[in-house]
């Protein structure tokens, strides 16, 4: 006879880090955001935001798009990919399950 056991929730470690979680949360609420907009919302420094975006891009969770802005330096726009949206949703569900386990 097999016993039913509770499996521990597996959280996506890429999303779990708070800086990256705040970036994905902002992108989940907007179709596309510019680099300064993400910075303004999350409060991350230039360097930290660049590093976190590269990590998220390598995981396939965000897509970066550079565009020339009227002869000035390139502007970077960031958006969630389908994989990123799925992963974010999965992370949210995992959090809710963890909270739900202790609620009556």
Binding site for other proteins (CB under 8 A): 9, 11, 16, 18-19, 21-22, 25-26, 28-34, 36-37, 40-45, 48, 92, 95-96, 98-99, 101-102
- Sign of the Cα pseudo-torsion (54, 32, 10, 59, in order): negative
Residues 84, 62 contacting (CB under 8 angstroms): yes
Q: Name the residue nearer to other proteins (CB basis): 40 or 60.
A: 40
CA distance 61 to 84: 4
CA 10 to chain centre: 16
Q: How far is the CB of 41 from other proteins (least distance, A)?
A: 5
Q: Which residue has the tokens 């990123």?
A: 84
Q: Name the residue nearer to other proteins (CB basis): 2 or 47.
A: 47
Residues 40, 73 contacting (CB under 8 angstroms): no
Q: How far is the CB of 1 from other proteins (least distance, A)?
A: 31
Q: How far is the CB of 2 from other proteins (least distance, A)?
A: 26
Q: Name the residue nearer to other proteins (CB basis): 4 or 101.
A: 101
């Amino acid at each position: 006879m097999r016993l039913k056991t509770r499996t521990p929730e597996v959280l996506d470690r890429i999303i779990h880090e708070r800086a990256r979680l705040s970036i994905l949360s902002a992108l989940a609420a907007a179709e596309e955001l510019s680099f300064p907009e993400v910075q303004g919302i999350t409060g991350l420094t230039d360097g930290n935001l660049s590093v976190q975006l590269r990590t998220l891009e390598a995981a396939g969770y965000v897509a970066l798009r550079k565009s020339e802005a009227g002869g000035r330096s390139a502007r970077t726009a960031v958006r969630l990919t389908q994989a990123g949206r799925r992963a974010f949703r999965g992370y949210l569900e995992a959090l809710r399950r963890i909270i739900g386990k202790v609620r009556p």
